[in-house]
Amino acid sequence: MEITEGLAMTINKKTMTLLAAAAVCAAISGCSTGTATTEGTAAPSSGGEAAQSKPNEKITLTMWGGVPAESGPQEVVDAWNAQHPDIQVKYERFVNDDAGNMKLDTALTTDQGVDLFVSYSQTLLQRRVDAGFAVDLGTFKDYNIDEKIAGAAEWKTNGKYYGMPTSKSQFFVWFNKDLLDQAGLKVPDAWTWQDMKMYAEKLKSDSRYGLVQHLEPFPDPLDSVSTKYGYTKPDGSSNMDHPLYGQWLETLKAMMQDGRTTVPYAEQVTSKMPVETVFLKGEAAMLNAGTWIFRSANNMKDNPRSFKIAFAPVPRLTDKAEDFVTRGGTGDAISINAKSKNKEAAWKFLTWYADGGMLPMVPGGRFPASKSVNADETLKLLLGDNAATYDQESLKKVLFNDSAKYTRSLPKQVMDLRQEEYENFFTGKKDVKATLEAIARRHNDYLKQNKK
C-alpha cells in the first residue's frame, strides 16, 4: 500500500488552467477546454452532455488508481468487464507519491480520458475539487453514501461528496505470537506506550528487535494527542508543544538507546529498513503498521514464516482510554471526472465497486467500507489459505473496531516541519524542551503566514 500524504505544493485552478493550455497547445494545433463552474465541478467540454455516448454504443471507462494492477484492481475490472460487455473498464496505475499524483493531475488537466480517479488523502481531493475536476456525487439520487458508508462524512467538501470513500483502514500492532507465548506475555486488548516499552524490552534479543515501526504511521501518537486536545490552543496559537508530545519523544528515544528494544531512528532512515520484511523474517517481535502489510504477510513464497501473527490496538499515550483517539476511518475516495463523457456509466461502476466489486482488493489489505459487504466474507478473503497462521480472535478485534477514529489531515508543510524537529531530537541535536519549542514556533509561523 502506497500511502504518501500528498504534494508540498498546492495547485490552484488558475495554475491548472495555465498548465492545460500549455500542454494541449503544444500537442495539437487548436486549443479547446471546458470551463469551470462553481463548487468544484467543471462544465463539460466539446459539447458536454451532448457528447455522452449514444444508446447501445459500447462504452470504455478509464479508472486511475495507485494500487498495482496485480494486487487486485485488474481482477476487479476483469470481473466487471465479464458482466458488462456494454461498459468496459480499463485500469491505469499511478504511483501514489508526489510525482505520481502530479501525473494524475496533469492527465485530468489535459483531458487524457480519465473517467474515474482515486484520491488517497483529503488534501489531494480538496485540491482536485478546487481545480474543477470532480463531479458532485449528490447529483446521483439512487445511492445514499451517508447510509451506506459509516464515517464517510469526513470526506465531504463544502458539505458535498466529490469523492466516495470506498475502503476503511485500521492501524495496529503486529505480534510474533510464538515469541509472545515464549515470554509469557498476553496479547493486549488495550495498552499504553509504557506497556509497549516493557513488551519490547522483554521480547528483544541479541539478534532481534523488540519493536520496529513503519515510518508512515510513526508520528500517529502525536496526531492522536492533537486530535483530542487540538493542534491549536483557544487563543489560536500552536498546541503542538503539548506535554504528551514530549512524553512520546522521551519514551521512544529511551527505547532506541536500550540495545535492540527498537531500531535507532537514524539507522532506520539511512538504511531504508524494510520493516515488514524484518518482522516477517522473525528479526523483530512487534511491528507498528496497518492493513497494507497483509499483502506481504500473505505472500508466503517471498516471505515464508512458521510463526503465527497476533494483533493489538495501537498503544495510547494517555492513561485514560477515553482520552485516546486512534487513526483510521475511510479512504480511497473515488471521484468521477467532471469532463467524463460517460458519467452515468462511471457512477454505475463506482456503486458496484463500493458494494462488493472491490472484494478482490481485500487480500492486499483494502477493506470495503460499504455496509453491503459481509465482514465474515471479507475476513475469509483476507486470510485465504493462510488462515491458520493468524490469531483470528485478536485480528477481529482490531479489524472490526468501530470506535472513534481520526484521519490525518495536517498540511504537508506542518508535517514536514514537525518531522524535521523530532528527527533533530532523535539524532541528539536538540533536547526535548528545545524540540517542543521549535515545533510550536515553526507551527505558529505557518499559522501566521496562512491566516485567512
Residue 245 placed within a domain: yes
- Above 70 in pLDDT, residue 236? yes
- Regarding whether 149 and 44 lie in a shared domain, the answer is yes
Nearest of 313, 3, 355, 358 to residue 170 by alpha carbon: 313
Q: Tell me, what's the pLDDT at 1? A: 41
Confirm whether 5 is domain-assigned.
no
Same domain as 439, residue 407: yes
Q: Which of 2-16, 79-93, 270-284, 327-341 has the lowest mean pLDDT?
A: 2-16
Give yes or no: residues 121 and 19 share one domain. Answer: yes
- Domain end position, chosen among 386, 405, 426: 386
Q: How far is CA 6 from the centre of its chain?
A: 10
Are residues 409 and 344 located together in one domain of the fold? Answer: no
Residues 231, 375: one domain? no
Residue 413 domain flag: yes
What one-character-per-residue DSSP string does 31-63 give? -----B-STT-BPPSTTGGGGSPPTT--EEEEE
Q: Do 413 and 382 share a structural domain?
A: no
* One domain, residues 253 and 376: no
* Domain contains 367: yes
* 429 and 399 in a common domain: yes
Which residue range is the domain that position 426 belongs to? 170-326+393-449
- 2 assigned to some structural domain: no
Query: How far apart are the two ends of the chain, measured CA to CA in Å?
Result: 35
What mean pLDDT value characterizes the chain?
Answer: 87
Number of domains observed in the structure of the chain = 2
Q: What's the CATH code of the domain at 317?
A: 3.40.190.10
Condensed to tens digits (0 to 9), the pLDDT of residues 247-292 reads 999 999 999 999 899 999 999 999 999 999 999 999 999 999 998 8
pLDDT digits 0-9 by tens, 355-381: 999 999 998 888 899 999 988 888 899
Residues 291, 225 share a domain: yes
Mean pLDDT of 180-204: 96
Q: Compute the chain's Rg from CA coordinates.
A: 23
Q: Is 6 within the bounds of a domain?
A: no
* Joined grid coordinates for residue 280: 516477517
Q: What is the pLDDT of residue 178?
A: 98
Residue 9: pLDDT band (50, 70, 90) is very low
Helices and strands in the chain, H and E counts: 17, 10
Indicate whether 243 and 178 sit together in one domain.
yes
- Domain co-membership, 335 together with 322: no
Domain termination site, one of 386, 403, 418: 386
What is the pTM for the complete model shown? Answer: 0.76
Give the position of cell 455516448.
Answer: 53
- Whether 1 is covered by a domain: the verdict is no
C-alpha cell at 326: 486512534
Q: Note whether 242 and 359 are same-domain residues.
A: no
